[in-house]
């Protein structure tokens, strides 16, 4: 009681008025703008985490070399096999099986660049991949789309275009990862052209094609990138503008389309990540160690293929090892095993001096607490492992089957928070504020202190999605959950969306190319 009275005596009318002034100034400064961080290159300021010892890492490395030498990799491409034969690999033409001498694998890793720049249509959005740089890209590949208004449904061209617009509007995403959802209302033979056209014209960031599974589709991507950046083959090689993604068919199978698409990208000088799809318990041994060893073997074998095509071709080390639910056989994502395999993959990538790619993933079927904590585990592991290209960083749901508008906003918040966490902490005399501490003294407050008023606009992270008000305010404002607020935010972003500038001549050239290729593809299908 005595303590309470002492505090009441200290809080004079003047001090209470000062506090109200401080609060009102902070409130008015926020305005009506969405709290986005500016677009910027992010770098991880701390050392990467290591989960296994150097000896254990070498055990995985040598196990992978043994797999490649004794079991081999099945490559369903005669062109790729001929190249590998020229590299002195042991090719079994009857089974399309190639076996690698360990020294050959080691040799192919020597000339791969440790980092490279991806040039955007807007030079201010050009980013570096490699070293301690980290890039966030939106989801790629789902056939379904979901939102609170219309539920889960087959993706359409309109959904795809809206997602690309949001990808371009949210500063935390550095490049468009693959146009979000596949537009199933467009012809399957040509929809990749519409998707890339949307990526180029509806955003001015760098981009990655969703499908790179044939040589012709890879070539379409390269040609459209040349038009977008107004350059030629040599210019695109010198200044890469796109990132390609390829998956092996685990275990130990690389199909013709993937191999040929990879070769096109290697010749064009565009970075490509080789990502085995090793689900422990299904397409890989039911242990983290076995799954990572298999992943590593597949990655090294396919990376060798890129270097056979073009020595020094820019290549990522790709991680996508997770596990299945042993009760149902369903894939599980955002698991502790996913995080463990990612940290070890980071150690392997650094051993080989290669940039690293991984993903933000969850198995959740809706935007709920499970989606949040599984994505949080994935993102934290990506940062701890020093992932350079975080694929599916925004919008992934249901094990990659669904592209979610609300999940995109949730992920943007998670990523912004991580970006703020990676900002350096300022430790100088003014920041410590001894003068302010002296002025306020014991039992006072800092609401109206000059030190606070000088910094209140940018002192702390401002959330995009989170509601930091008390229960009463939250209740009076409609009792909106984070998912409901996310729904409102993406709708607002679409309403406020402004198409980035693009020269009409460039857009016309893109349209002409797209129309010509659609006619060619249609003619090919008839014959």
Collapsing DSSP to helix, strand or coil, 337 comes out as helix
> Which residue has better confidence, 324 or 26?
324
241-253 pLDDT, tens digit each? 999 988 999 999 9
Contact predicate 147/491, CB 8 Å? no
Of the CA atoms within 13 Å of residue 211, those in its CB half-sphere come to 21
What are the strands of the beta sheet with 253-254, ordered from one edge? 90-92, 97-99, 73-75, 253-254
Burial of residue 64 (CB within 10 Å: 0-12, 13-18, 19+) is: buried
Average pLDDT value for the chain: 92
What is the mean pLDDT of the segment spanning 195-210?
A: 95
72 in a structural domain: no
CB atoms under 10 Å from CB of 419, counted, come to 18
54 in a structural domain: no
Instruction: Compute the distance between CA of residue 31 and CA of residue 139 in angstroms, rounded to an integer.
Output: 31
367 in a structural domain: yes
What is the mean pLDDT of the segment spanning 292-320?
A: 95
397 in a structural domain: yes
Contact predicate 190/171, CB 8 Å? no
Of the CA atoms within 13 Å of residue 33, those in its CB half-sphere come to 10
Helices (H) and strands (E) in the chain, counts: 20, 22
Q: Give the DSSP H or E segment for 396.
A: strand 396-397
pLDDT score of 457: 87
pLDDT score of 527: 61
Tokens representing residue 295 in the block: 């992943």
53-85 pLDDT, tens digit each? 999 999 999 999 999 999 999 999 999 999 998
- Which residues are CB-contacts of 97 (< 8 A; sequence separation ≥ 6)? 72, 73, 74, 75, 91
Instruction: Compute the distance between CA of residue 291 and CA of residue 64 in angstroms, rounded to an integer.
Output: 10
pLDDT score of 25: 41
354-363 pLDDT, tens digit each? 999 999 999 9
- Which residues are CB-contacts of 422 (< 8 A; sequence separation ≥ 6)? 42, 43, 44, 45, 383
CA dihedral in degrees (115, 120, 122, 123; nearest 10)? 30
Instruction: Compute the distance between CA of residue 17 and CA of residue 26 in angstroms, rounded to an integer.
Output: 14
Instruction: Give me the percent of the chain exceeding a pLDDT of 70.
Output: 94
Instruction: Compute the distance between CA of residue 314 and CA of residue 240 in angstroms, rounded to an integer.
Output: 10
User: Which DSSP category does 37 fall into?
Assistant: P
> Which residue has better confidence, 170 or 84?
170
For the stretch 160-189, what's the b/e string if a residue is b when 16 or more beta carbons lie within 10 angstroms of its beta carbon? bbbbbbbbbbbbbbbbbbbbbbbbbebeee
- Helix 215-229, helix 504-526: angle, nearest 10: 160
- Which residues are CB-contacts of 53 (< 8 A; sequence separation ≥ 6)? none
474 in a structural domain: no
Angle at 170 between CA 480 and CA 201, to 5 degrees: 130
Collapsing DSSP to helix, strand or coil, 383 comes out as helix
Give me the phi and psi of 348, to 5 degrees please. -65, -45
Decide the pairing of beta strands 97-99 and 90-92.
antiparallel
132 in a structural domain: yes
87-123 pLDDT, tens digit each? 889 999 999 999 999 999 999 999 999 999 999 999 9
329 in a structural domain: yes
**Structural domain boundaries enclosing 382:** 108-421
Q: How many domains does the chain have?
A: 1
pLDDT score of 15: 43
482 in a structural domain: no
Q: CATH number of the domain that 384 lies in? A: 3.20.20.480
253-304 pLDDT, tens digit each? 999 999 999 999 999 999 999 999 999 999 999 999 999 999 999 999 999 9
């Amino acid at each position: 009681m005595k303590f309470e009275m002492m505090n009441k005596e200290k809080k004079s009318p003047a001090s209470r008025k000062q506090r109200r002034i401080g609060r009102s100034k902070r409130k008015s400064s926020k305005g009506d703008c969405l709290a986005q961080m500016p677009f910027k290159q992010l770098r991880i300021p701390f050392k990467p985490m290591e989960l296994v010892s150097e000896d254990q890492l070498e055990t995985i490395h040598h196990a992978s070399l043994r797999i490649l030498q004794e079991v081999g990799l099945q490559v369903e491409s005669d062109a790729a096999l001929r190249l590998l034969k020229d590299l002195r690999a042991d090719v079994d033409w009857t089974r399309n099986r190639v076996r690698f001498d360990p020294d050959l694998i080691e040799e192919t890793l020597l000339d791969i660049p440790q980092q490279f720049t991806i040039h955007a249509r807007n030079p201010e959005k050009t980013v570096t991949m490699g070293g301690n740089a980290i890039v966030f890209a939106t989801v790629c590949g789902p056939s379904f789309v979901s939102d609170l208004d219309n539920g889960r449904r087959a993706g359409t061209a309109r959904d795809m275009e809206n997602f690309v617009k949001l990808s371009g509007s949210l500063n935390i995403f550095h490049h468009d990862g693959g146009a979000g959802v596949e537009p199933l209302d467009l012809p399957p033979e040509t929809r990749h052209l519409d998707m890339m056209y949307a990526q180029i014209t509806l955003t001015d960031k760098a981009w990655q094609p969703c499908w790179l599974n044939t040589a012709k589709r890879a070539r379409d991507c390269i040609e459209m990138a040349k038009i977008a950046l107004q350059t030629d083959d040599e210019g695109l090689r010198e200044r890469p503008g796109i990132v390609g993604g390829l998956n092996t068919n685990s275990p130990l199978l690389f199909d013709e389309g993937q191999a040929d698409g990879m070769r096109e990208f290697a010749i064009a000088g565009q970075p490509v990540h080789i990502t085995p799809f090793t689900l422990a318990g299904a397409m890989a041994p039911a242990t983290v160690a076995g799954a990572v060893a298999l992943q590593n073997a597949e990655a090294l074998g396919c990376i060798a293929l890129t270097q056979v095509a073009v020595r020094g071709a820019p290549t990522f080390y790709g991680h996508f090892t997770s596990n299945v639910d042993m009760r149902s056989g369903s894939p599980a994502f955002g698991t502790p095993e996913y995080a463990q395999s990612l940290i070890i993959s980071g150690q392997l990538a650094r051993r080989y001096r290669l940039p690293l790619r991984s993903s933000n993933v969850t198995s959740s079927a809706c935007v709920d607490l499970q989606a949040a904590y599984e994505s949080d585990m994935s993102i934290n592991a990506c940062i701890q492992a020093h992932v350079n290209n975080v694929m599916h960083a925004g919008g992934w749901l249901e094990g990659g089957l669904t592209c979610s508008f609300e999940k995109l906003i949730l992920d943007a918040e998670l990523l912004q928070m991580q970006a703020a966490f990676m900002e350096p902490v300022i430790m100088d005399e003014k920041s410590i504020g001894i003068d302010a501490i002296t002025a306020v003294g014991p039992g006072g407050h800092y609401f109206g202190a000059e030190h606070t008023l000088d910094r209140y606009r940018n002192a702390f992270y401002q959330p995009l999605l989170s509601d930091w008000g008390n229960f009463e305010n939250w209740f009076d404002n409609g009792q909106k959950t984070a998912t409901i607020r996310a729904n409102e935010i993406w709708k607002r972003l679409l309403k406020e969306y402004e198409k980035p500038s693009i020269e009409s001549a460039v857009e016309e050239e893109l349209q002409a190319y797209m129309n010509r290729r659609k006619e060619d593809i249609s003619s090919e299908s008839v014959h």
